Amino acid sequence: MIDEWTLERTKGVTGVQKGILKRAVETTREGGTVVYSTCTFAPEENEAVLDFVLGKRPCRLVPFDIPLAHSPGITEWQGESFDPTVRQAKRIYPHQNDTGGFFCARLEVTG
């Protein structure tokens, strides 16, 4: 599987993820919550997707707690800057909890 993963495939998956998250926000009532989670560390599939949706739909990232060691979302990757609120997302790395890694964020629909 790793041999099959390419930058082009990541770009394709990212497009799908942007569409899914955008549609989730569109179909959630004002004041509702959307949780975005992936099982990857790739900023293209995590913070970049959040940044895209934050710029396209009425929503905001909100703080949340989890009972695991974690790191904040990143605001820059390979020369690209993301909305500073993506730091409210959580990056859970395998070395922090002896688990698989994943990413999660909580959005509130504002309009």
pLDDT score for 78: 94
Q: What is the pLDDT of residue 14?
A: 92
Report which of 98, 94, 97 is spatially closest to residue 68, judged by C-alpha positions.
97
Stated pTM of the model: 0.90
Nearest by Cα to 47 from 69, 78, 12, 68: 78
Distance between CA atoms of 58 and 53, rounded to whole angstroms? Answer: 9
13 pLDDT exceeds 90? no
Strand 59-61 versus strand 80-81 pairing type: unpaired
- Domains annotated for the chain, with CATH where assigned, are 2-109 (3.40.50.150)
pLDDT single digits (tens) 19-37: 999 999 999 999 999 999 9
Q: What is the pLDDT of residues 71-106, one digit of tens each?
A: 999 999 999 999 999 999 999 999 999 999 999 999
Supply the residues annotated as catalytic.
39
